[in-house]
Structure 1
Amino acid sequence: MTRSLHSTDRLPASARAGHWNAVIAEAYFPLDLTFRDAARFEGQLEHSNVGDISLSRLCTEAVQYERHRHHISSATEEQYLITIPRKSPVDFRQLGREVRCDPGGFILERGDEPYRFSYANANDLCVLKIAKPVLATKLRNPDRYCALVFNGREGIGSLFTTMAQQIQRHASSDPNSDAVLSRHLVELLALALDRTSEVEQGAGSSVRDAHRRRAENVILRDLSNPDLSPEIIADAVGISKRYLHELFAEVNCTVSQFVREERLKAARDLLQMPNPGQMSDIAYRFGFSDQAQFSRLFKAKFGQTPSGYRAQITAACND
C-alpha cells in the first residue's frame, strides 16, 4: 500500500485554492471546486493505493465539487467514486437525480457523467475509487446504482463501510495482502449494491425512463433535420452521448435505429394523406440523404417501395 498525505497547513492564503484543486485532481480526477472562503479554506487528504482500488480520507471545510463535460472529454478510463460521509450530510446530483446522504450511508458516483457534490459543513469522508471494469466483473451494469443512497449501518452495507475505513486507516506494505483486501472489499461493495431495495431501483429506473422519453421527444420534433445526431440529441436533453446510447440499449435499440424508424413511420403517415407531394420532397423532408436511400429503407421496413405503398393507398381509396 502506497500512502500520501496532503494538507493546506502552512500554505499562504493565496495558494490554498489552487493547491487543493491539484490535490483533488491527482487523487480522484479533475473537478471544479467552489469554496465558501478560499483564503481560509483548510483541508487534509490521506490517500492510499490498495491493489486495484484507492482509498482516501478527506477532511475539509464546506466545499462544492463539480464534474463537467470538458473534464470528461479528456478522460482515458471510466471510474467510480464511492463516498462514505462520517461527520455531516453530503448533497449529490447526477443524471437527473438529487439525493442527500447522511452519515451512516454511502453513494456511488460515475466519473464519466457530469455531477455536483457538496457539503455545507465541515466533513470527514472515506472515499473509494475504482475503475469501472473492476466493479463490472462483480456486478452487472453498475451504472444503474449511481446517485442512490445505500445503508451503511446494517447488514452487508455495514460490513463494506467498516472494512473500507479499517483498510484506509491501517497501511500494509505487502502487495499480496493488498490484492486480497481490495478483492474482498470490491466483493462486499458489489453485494451491498446488489441488495438495493426495490424502491431505490424503481426510482433509478424512472429517471432513466424519463431521460429516454425526453430524447425520443427531441427526435420526433426534429425528424426533418438531416444533421440530427446523437451529439445533438444528448445536448438537447442535457446528458452525455454515452449515457444516451445506454438508455436506448436498455430497450434493445440504438439511437440511429430509433431515428430511422420514426422517420420512416412519419413518411408512411404522410403517404396516406391526399396529395403528399413528390417522393424526393418527402425523402428530404424527413432527413433522408436522397430518394434512393429513402426507397431502399422504406422497402426494408414495410415490404414495399414508397411508390408502391402510395399506389396501394390510392387504389383502396378509389374502391
Structure 2
Amino acid sequence: MRFQQSYTTHARPVALMPYPPLGATEHTERDVEADIERSPGLPSFELSTEGFDPSVQFAVWHDSFAPILELTRTGSAEARFHGRQKIWDLGNLVFAEISTDELDFASLPGHIRREPLDHWTVTVLKSGRIRTDCARRTFTAGPGEVQVHSLGRRFSGHVSRSDMLMLFVPRDFSHEAAVALSAAELSKLGTGMGQLFSDYLVGMANRLPLLTQAEMPDLASATNAMILACVSPSADNVEAAEEPIATLLLEKARQFVQKRLFDPDLASEAVRRELGISRTRLYNLFEPFGGVMHYIQHRRLLGAHSSLTDPDDQRLILEIAEKHGFSDGAEFSRAFKRAFGYSPSDARRGGKGRMPCPKDRRRHDCPATGRLGTLLRRLQG
C-alpha cells in the first residue's frame, strides 16, 4: 500500500510513513527533514485508492482500517472502489476526513480474536447514512448527526457511499471526557447540543489547514470543553465551553439572519428558535452587539450600503431602504448615518463609496489591550 502524504510538521511522523508517496522519486532522510522544517502547519497524511489498479482498490482501503475495523465490500468485487482519507495528527487526538463507497463494518472484538485499539470515535456524516448494530439496540444517523463508538466494544453495521469526519479520542485524553464518552458510547447524540458538536467538528475540518503545531494545546482544550458541554451537558461543563459555543452560535445566527435578511417578520424570537436557546441565553449572546434587533438592523444597513455604492444598482434610495426592511425613509437615513457617519445620499454619490466603517466609540474608550477585540466584534456586526 502506498500513501500520499503532506509533510507538514516539525516532528517526523515515522510510524505513518511506511511507503513513499505515489509517483515520488527517492528522497534521503535529510531531504525529508528539510521539507518538514519548511512546513510549520499541522502534520497530515493522505491516502486515495484512485492511484491503484481497480482489482486491489478495496484491499488497499480494507488494509488502511485493519487496525480498528473489519471492512466487507457490499458491491461487485470487480468494480472500482472509491476511498479517500486525510488524517491529521493533533498530538493527543487524531482527526480524519473520509470519503468511502458503500461497505459493511465490524469492530475487531466481534470479528478477530485479538486485543484491538480501544479509542472512542466521534463521527459526523457530511453525506450518506450509517447504521450501527450492537447488543442492545440499533441506531442510524444521517448528515449532521453525531455518533459515538467505542472501538473496544462489539458492534457492526453498514454505511452507504458517504463523506464523514471522525475524531479519535484516547481513553486517557481526560478523566472528565472519559466519563462523558463512556456514558454516550454506541449511541447517537440526538440533542441540540449534539448538533452543536457536529458544527464544531465541521468547523475544525475547515480550519485545521490554517493552524500550527503551537496551537495544538489550545485546540485540545477547546475540544475537551466541547466534549464535556455537548456529550454530557451540565452547568459547569457548558460554562467551560462558553467561548467556542458562543462562536458557533453567533456564526449560525449570522447565516440565519443573512438568509432571511429581507423578511419583514424576522425578529429575535425567530433567531432564538433557530438557535434552540433560552431568551436569557439569547440576550447574553447578543449583548455586545446591542441586542438581536440591533444586530439584524446593522446587517440590513450593511446590505443597503452595498447596494447604494454599487454603480449598477440604480434603484431609488427609498426602494433600497424598503427592500432592507425600512418603511420610513427618514428613519433609514438616521440609522444609516449613525452606523457609518455619513448619509445614504453621500454613499450614493460615491464620495463615501468605500467599505463601510461603522462608528464604535468603545474602541476609543477601552484600554489599548482591548481595542483589537472591539474592532473584531464590530466587524462581526
- Residue 131, structure 1, aligned to residue 176, structure 2: no
* Equivalent residues of 2:90, 2:216 under 8 A apart: yes
SS of residue paired to 2:209: coil
Give the C-alpha shift of residue 178 in structure 1. Answer: 1.4
Partner of 2:115: 74
Partner of 1:163: 200
Match of 2:182 among 117, 139, 143: 143
- Residue 22, structure 1, aligned to residue 63, structure 2: yes
Match of 1:116 among 156, 159, 169: 156
* Equivalent residues of 1:83, 1:108 under 8 A apart: yes
Superposed CA RMSD in Å reads 2.3
| Corresponding letter in the other structure for 1:41 | F
SS of residue paired to 1:17: helix
The 1-side partners of 2:197 and 2:151 are apart by 21
SS of residue paired to 2:153: coil
Partner of 2:71: 32
| Corresponding letter in the other structure for 1:114 | R
For residues 192 and 173 of structure 1, do their structure 2 counterparts lie closer, same or farther at Cα, with a shift above 3 Å needed? closer
Matching of residues 1-319 of structure 1 within 5 Å: 1-25=42-66, 29-38=68-77, 39-69=79-109, 71=112, 73-75=114-116, 77-120=117-160, 122-140=161-179, 142-151=181-190, 154=192, 156-169=193-206, 170-172=208-210, 174-195=212-233
Q: Deviations over 1:93-137 (max 9, x none)?
A: 2232210112121110011012113223x2111111111221533
| Corresponding letter in the other structure for 2:196 | L
The 1-side partners of 2:221 and 2:91 are apart by 8
Give the C-alpha shift of residue 41 in structure 1. Answer: 1.3
Structure 1 or 2: larger strand share?
Answer: 1
Q: Deviations over 1:206-241 (max 9, x none)?
A: xxxxxxxxxxxxxxxxxxxxxxxxxxxxxxxxxxxx
For residues 67 and 138 of structure 1, do their structure 2 counterparts lie closer, same or farther at Cα, with a shift above 3 Å needed? closer
For residues 73 and 135 of structure 1, do their structure 2 counterparts lie closer, same or farther at Cα, with a shift above 3 Å needed? farther
| Corresponding letter in the other structure for 1:43 | G
The 2-side partners of 1:131 and 1:142 are apart by 10
Flag structure 1 segments of 5+ consecutive residues without an equivalent.
Answer: 197-319
For residues 191 and 72 of structure 1, do their structure 2 counterparts lie closer, same or farther at Cα, with a shift above 3 Å needed? farther
Give the C-alpha shift of residue 172 in structure 1. Answer: 4.7
Give the C-alpha shift of residue 50 in structure 1. Answer: 1.4
| Corresponding letter in the other structure for 1:116 | S
Output the TM-score relative to the length of structure 2: 0.46
The 1-side partners of 2:113 and 2:214 are apart by 33
Give the C-alpha shift of residue 194 in structure 1. Answer: 0.9
Flag structure 2 segments of 5+ consecutive residues without an equivalent.
Answer: 1-41, 235-381
The 1-side partners of 2:231 and 2:87 are apart by 24
Identity fraction in percent: 12
The alignment of Structure 1 onto Structure 2 pairs a total of residues equal to 190
Give the C-alpha shift of residue 72 in structure 1. Answer: 6.5
For residues 193 and 141 of structure 1, do their structure 2 counterparts lie closer, same or farther at Cα, with a shift above 3 Å needed? closer
The 1-side partners of 2:55 and 2:194 are apart by 41
* Equivalent residues of 1:79, 1:111 under 8 A apart: yes
> RCO (CA 8 Å, sep 6+): is it higher in 1 or 2?
1
The 1-side partners of 2:64 and 2:100 are apart by 12
The 1-side partners of 2:145 and 2:166 are apart by 12
